[in-house]
Amino acid sequence: MTAHAAPGYDIVGDVHGCLDELLTLLNRLGYGWDGAVLTPPAGRQLVFVGDLVDRGPEVVGVVQLVMGSVQSGAALSVRGNHDERLARALAGEAVKGSRSLDVSLAQLADVSVQERDEIRRVLGTLPSRLELDGGRLLVVHAGEQAGDPATREHFNVWGAHTGRVGQDGVKERVAWVGGYTGSALVAYGHTPVLAPDWHGHTVNLDTGAVFGGHLTALRYPERQTVSVPARRAYASTAHWRALTGVPA
Protein backbone atom coordinates (compact mmCIF):
# COMPACT_ATOMS: atom_id res chain seq x y z
CA MET A 1 0.00 0.00 0.00
CA THR A 2 1.28 3.47 -0.89
CA ALA A 3 0.43 6.45 1.30
CA HIS A 4 0.86 10.16 0.66
CA ALA A 5 4.18 11.50 1.88
CA ALA A 6 4.46 13.70 4.96
CA PRO A 7 7.53 15.79 5.80
CA GLY A 8 8.40 13.52 8.72
CA TYR A 9 7.40 10.20 10.29
CA ASP A 10 7.80 8.77 13.77
CA ILE A 11 7.75 4.98 13.47
CA VAL A 12 6.93 3.09 16.66
CA GLY A 13 7.98 -0.48 17.39
CA ASP A 14 5.80 -3.29 18.79
CA VAL A 15 3.54 -1.82 21.52
CA HIS A 16 1.79 -5.01 22.73
CA GLY A 17 -0.68 -3.21 24.98
CA CYS A 18 1.92 -1.04 26.76
CA LEU A 19 -0.18 2.13 26.87
CA ASP A 20 1.76 3.96 29.60
CA GLU A 21 5.02 3.49 27.71
CA LEU A 22 3.38 4.59 24.46
CA LEU A 23 2.06 7.79 26.03
CA THR A 24 5.49 8.52 27.53
CA LEU A 25 7.11 8.00 24.12
CA LEU A 26 4.53 10.19 22.37
CA ASN A 27 5.17 12.96 24.88
CA ARG A 28 8.91 12.64 24.28
CA LEU A 29 8.28 12.95 20.53
CA GLY A 30 6.13 16.05 20.98
CA TYR A 31 2.69 14.53 20.36
CA GLY A 32 -0.30 15.69 22.36
CA TRP A 33 -2.95 13.28 23.65
CA ASP A 34 -6.06 14.39 25.56
CA GLY A 35 -7.54 10.93 25.98
CA ALA A 36 -9.44 11.12 22.71
CA VAL A 37 -7.47 13.07 20.09
CA LEU A 38 -3.83 12.73 19.07
CA THR A 39 -2.18 16.00 18.04
CA PRO A 40 1.06 15.53 16.06
CA PRO A 41 3.83 18.10 15.94
CA ALA A 42 3.69 20.22 12.79
CA GLY A 43 4.71 18.21 9.75
CA ARG A 44 4.89 14.84 11.53
CA GLN A 45 2.84 11.65 11.28
CA LEU A 46 2.91 8.62 13.59
CA VAL A 47 3.41 5.14 12.10
CA PHE A 48 3.11 1.80 13.92
CA VAL A 49 4.89 -1.40 12.85
CA GLY A 50 2.05 -3.59 14.16
CA ASP A 51 1.59 -5.97 17.08
CA LEU A 52 -0.50 -3.45 18.94
CA VAL A 53 -2.16 -6.20 20.99
CA ASP A 54 -1.50 -9.23 23.24
CA ARG A 55 0.73 -9.71 26.28
CA GLY A 56 0.48 -6.20 27.74
CA PRO A 57 -1.86 -4.66 30.34
CA GLU A 58 -3.85 -2.13 28.27
CA VAL A 59 -4.62 -3.66 24.90
CA VAL A 60 -7.98 -1.89 24.58
CA GLY A 61 -6.49 1.52 25.34
CA VAL A 62 -3.71 1.07 22.79
CA VAL A 63 -6.11 -0.06 20.07
CA GLN A 64 -8.50 2.80 20.79
CA LEU A 65 -5.67 5.33 20.55
CA VAL A 66 -4.39 3.87 17.29
CA MET A 67 -7.84 3.45 15.72
CA GLY A 68 -8.83 7.04 16.47
CA SER A 69 -5.48 8.37 15.28
CA VAL A 70 -5.62 6.41 12.02
CA GLN A 71 -9.19 7.59 11.40
CA SER A 72 -8.18 11.21 11.99
CA GLY A 73 -5.13 10.95 9.75
CA ALA A 74 -2.69 11.58 12.59
CA ALA A 75 -1.27 8.04 12.34
CA LEU A 76 -0.79 5.02 10.10
CA SER A 77 -0.26 1.39 11.06
CA VAL A 78 0.57 -1.90 9.41
CA ARG A 79 -0.83 -5.23 10.56
CA GLY A 80 1.22 -7.46 12.82
CA ASN A 81 0.77 -11.20 13.25
CA HIS A 82 -0.74 -10.71 16.72
CA ASP A 83 -3.18 -8.16 15.32
CA GLU A 84 -4.25 -10.51 12.53
CA ARG A 85 -4.62 -13.45 14.88
CA LEU A 86 -6.79 -11.47 17.31
CA ALA A 87 -8.98 -10.21 14.45
CA ARG A 88 -9.51 -13.80 13.32
CA ALA A 89 -10.38 -14.91 16.84
CA LEU A 90 -12.89 -12.08 17.21
CA ALA A 91 -14.43 -13.13 13.90
CA GLY A 92 -15.10 -16.56 15.39
CA GLU A 93 -12.34 -18.44 13.61
CA ALA A 94 -10.70 -21.38 15.37
CA VAL A 95 -7.36 -19.75 16.14
CA LYS A 96 -4.58 -21.74 17.73
CA GLY A 97 -4.63 -20.65 21.36
CA SER A 98 -1.84 -19.05 23.30
CA ARG A 99 -1.49 -17.20 26.57
CA SER A 100 -0.74 -13.94 24.74
CA LEU A 101 -3.99 -14.11 22.78
CA ASP A 102 -5.90 -14.98 25.95
CA VAL A 103 -4.62 -11.75 27.52
CA SER A 104 -6.28 -9.68 24.79
CA LEU A 105 -9.51 -11.68 24.80
CA ALA A 106 -9.82 -11.31 28.58
CA GLN A 107 -9.42 -7.52 28.35
CA LEU A 108 -11.93 -7.32 25.49
CA ALA A 109 -14.54 -9.21 27.51
CA ASP A 110 -15.63 -5.95 29.13
CA VAL A 111 -15.96 -4.10 25.82
CA SER A 112 -19.30 -3.79 24.04
CA VAL A 113 -20.09 -6.07 21.12
CA GLN A 114 -20.13 -3.06 18.80
CA GLU A 115 -16.66 -1.95 19.85
CA ARG A 116 -15.26 -5.48 19.59
CA ASP A 117 -16.64 -5.65 16.05
CA GLU A 118 -14.97 -2.34 15.22
CA ILE A 119 -11.66 -3.51 16.70
CA ARG A 120 -11.93 -6.74 14.70
CA ARG A 121 -12.64 -4.81 11.51
CA VAL A 122 -9.83 -2.31 11.97
CA LEU A 123 -7.17 -4.84 12.99
CA GLY A 124 -8.12 -7.19 10.18
CA THR A 125 -7.96 -4.51 7.49
CA LEU A 126 -4.73 -2.77 8.43
CA PRO A 127 -2.34 -2.96 5.44
CA SER A 128 0.52 -5.43 5.37
CA ARG A 129 2.97 -2.74 4.19
CA LEU A 130 3.27 1.01 3.84
CA GLU A 131 5.48 2.57 1.17
CA LEU A 132 6.18 6.13 2.27
CA ASP A 133 8.25 9.11 1.20
CA GLY A 134 7.94 8.27 -2.47
CA GLY A 135 9.07 4.69 -1.89
CA ARG A 136 12.19 5.61 0.07
CA LEU A 137 10.72 4.23 3.30
CA LEU A 138 9.00 0.86 3.75
CA VAL A 139 7.21 -0.03 7.00
CA VAL A 140 6.29 -3.68 7.59
CA HIS A 141 5.84 -5.79 10.67
CA ALA A 142 7.98 -8.90 10.22
CA GLY A 143 10.18 -8.23 7.21
CA GLU A 144 10.40 -7.87 3.45
CA GLN A 145 10.78 -10.60 0.85
CA ALA A 146 10.56 -10.61 -2.92
CA GLY A 147 7.90 -12.78 -4.51
CA ASP A 148 4.32 -12.80 -5.62
CA PRO A 149 2.04 -10.40 -3.71
CA ALA A 150 0.32 -13.10 -1.62
CA THR A 151 3.59 -14.67 -0.48
CA ARG A 152 5.10 -11.27 0.21
CA GLU A 153 2.05 -10.15 2.21
CA HIS A 154 2.24 -13.22 4.46
CA PHE A 155 5.95 -12.64 5.03
CA ASN A 156 5.38 -8.94 5.76
CA VAL A 157 2.98 -9.88 8.57
CA TRP A 158 4.24 -13.25 9.85
CA GLY A 159 7.80 -13.69 8.62
CA ALA A 160 8.87 -17.32 8.23
CA HIS A 161 10.71 -20.04 10.13
CA THR A 162 13.68 -22.08 8.97
CA GLY A 163 12.40 -25.31 10.51
CA ARG A 164 15.20 -25.31 13.07
CA VAL A 165 14.98 -24.64 16.81
CA GLY A 166 17.53 -22.35 18.42
CA GLN A 167 19.45 -22.87 21.66
CA ASP A 168 16.76 -20.88 23.49
CA GLY A 169 14.17 -23.48 22.42
CA VAL A 170 12.44 -21.03 20.07
CA LYS A 171 11.76 -21.73 16.41
CA GLU A 172 14.43 -20.01 14.34
CA ARG A 173 13.12 -17.23 12.13
CA VAL A 174 14.34 -16.62 8.59
CA ALA A 175 17.07 -13.96 8.74
CA TRP A 176 15.95 -11.93 5.75
CA VAL A 177 17.95 -8.75 6.35
CA GLY A 178 21.20 -10.18 4.98
CA GLY A 179 19.57 -10.79 1.64
CA TYR A 180 17.71 -7.51 1.38
CA THR A 181 18.89 -5.48 -1.61
CA GLY A 182 16.06 -2.98 -2.00
CA SER A 183 16.63 0.76 -2.06
CA ALA A 184 13.98 1.62 0.55
CA LEU A 185 14.86 1.83 4.23
CA VAL A 186 12.83 -0.96 5.89
CA ALA A 187 11.53 -0.23 9.40
CA TYR A 188 10.09 -3.32 11.09
CA GLY A 189 9.68 -5.18 14.39
CA HIS A 190 8.42 -8.71 15.21
CA THR A 191 11.67 -10.13 16.66
CA PRO A 192 12.62 -8.53 20.00
CA VAL A 193 16.11 -7.08 20.28
CA LEU A 194 17.85 -5.26 23.12
CA ALA A 195 18.39 -2.02 21.17
CA PRO A 196 17.40 -0.68 17.74
CA ASP A 197 19.13 -3.04 15.34
CA TRP A 198 20.50 -1.59 12.09
CA HIS A 199 21.59 -3.98 9.35
CA GLY A 200 22.31 -2.47 5.97
CA HIS A 201 19.20 -0.59 4.87
CA THR A 202 16.95 -2.05 7.60
CA VAL A 203 16.18 -1.27 11.24
CA ASN A 204 14.40 -3.45 13.80
CA LEU A 205 12.42 -1.29 16.25
CA ASP A 206 11.02 -4.03 18.53
CA THR A 207 13.04 -3.43 21.67
CA GLY A 208 10.92 -5.60 23.94
CA ALA A 209 8.75 -3.06 25.78
CA VAL A 210 6.29 -5.70 26.95
CA PHE A 211 9.15 -7.82 28.30
CA GLY A 212 10.61 -5.01 30.40
CA GLY A 213 12.84 -3.57 27.67
CA HIS A 214 12.13 -0.31 25.86
CA LEU A 215 9.57 1.15 23.47
CA THR A 216 11.38 2.69 20.53
CA ALA A 217 10.53 5.08 17.70
CA LEU A 218 12.52 5.94 14.59
CA ARG A 219 12.41 9.57 13.55
CA TYR A 220 12.46 9.76 9.76
CA PRO A 221 14.06 11.22 7.70
CA GLU A 222 16.42 12.11 10.57
CA ARG A 223 17.15 8.39 11.18
CA GLN A 224 17.37 9.03 14.90
CA THR A 225 15.87 6.63 17.43
CA VAL A 226 14.11 7.60 20.65
CA SER A 227 13.47 4.99 23.36
CA VAL A 228 11.69 4.99 26.71
CA PRO A 229 12.08 2.23 29.32
CA ALA A 230 9.23 -0.09 30.21
CA ARG A 231 7.73 0.43 33.65
CA ARG A 232 8.11 -3.29 34.27
CA ALA A 233 8.03 -6.65 32.52
CA TYR A 234 4.46 -7.63 31.67
CA ALA A 235 5.27 -10.92 29.92
CA SER A 236 8.12 -13.34 29.36
CA THR A 237 9.41 -15.41 26.46
CA ALA A 238 12.33 -17.79 26.09
CA HIS A 239 13.78 -15.58 23.35
CA TRP A 240 13.82 -12.49 25.58
CA ARG A 241 15.22 -14.42 28.56
CA ALA A 242 18.02 -15.67 26.33
CA LEU A 243 18.79 -12.14 25.13
CA THR A 244 18.90 -10.71 28.64
CA GLY A 245 20.43 -13.70 30.43
CA VAL A 246 17.48 -13.90 32.81
CA PRO A 247 16.89 -17.52 33.92
CA ALA A 248 13.56 -19.19 33.21
Predicted pLDDT at 220 = 98
Q: Residue 83 domain-assigned?
A: yes
Q: Residue 1 domain-assigned?
A: no
In sequence order, what are the residues at sequence separation of 6 or more whose Cβ sits closer than 8 angstroms to the Cβ of residue 214? 195, 207, 208, 227, 228, 229, 230
Helix (H, G, I), strand (E, B) or coil at 119: helix
Q: Residue 122 domain-assigned?
A: yes
Predicted pLDDT at 164 = 80
Predicted pLDDT at 4 = 46
Question: By C-alpha distance, which of 181, 148, 143, 135 is closest to 160?
Answer: 143
With contact defined as beta carbons under 8 Å apart, do 220 and 133 qualify? yes
Residue pLDDT, tens place only, 10-22:
999 999 999 999 9
User: What is the average per-residue pLDDT within 85-90?
Assistant: 96
CA atoms of 40 and 18, how far apart (whole Å): 20
User: What is the average per-residue pLDDT within 184-192?
Assistant: 97
Question: By C-alpha distance, which of 242, 233, 187 is closest to 47?
Answer: 187
Is residue 5's pLDDT more than 60?
Answer: no
Report the domain count for the chain: 1
Q: Where are the beta strands (DSSP E) in 27-118?
A: 32-33, 38-39, 44-48, 75-77
Q: Residue 152 domain-assigned?
A: yes
Is residue 248's pLDDT more than 70?
Answer: no
User: What is the average per-residue pLDDT within 176-203?
Assistant: 96
CA atoms of 93 and 14, how far apart (whole Å): 24
Predicted pLDDT at 34 = 93
Q: How confident is the model at residue 247 (pLDDT cuts 50, 70, 90)?
A: low
Q: How confident is the model at residue 235 (pLDDT cuts 50, 70, 90)?
A: very high
User: What is the average per-residue pLDDT within 86-113?
Assistant: 92
Predicted pLDDT at 2 = 47
Q: Residue 3 domain-assigned?
A: no
Q: Residue 43 domain-assigned?
A: yes
Q: How confident is the model at residue 180 (pLDDT cuts 50, 70, 90)?
A: very high
- What is the extent of the structural domain holding 75? 8-244
Residue pLDDT, tens place only, 36-68:
999 999 999 999 999 999 999 999 999 999 999
Predicted pLDDT at 206 = 98
Q: Residue 203 domain-assigned?
A: yes
Q: Residue 204 domain-assigned?
A: yes
Q: What is the CATH number of the domain that holds 237?
A: 3.60.21.10
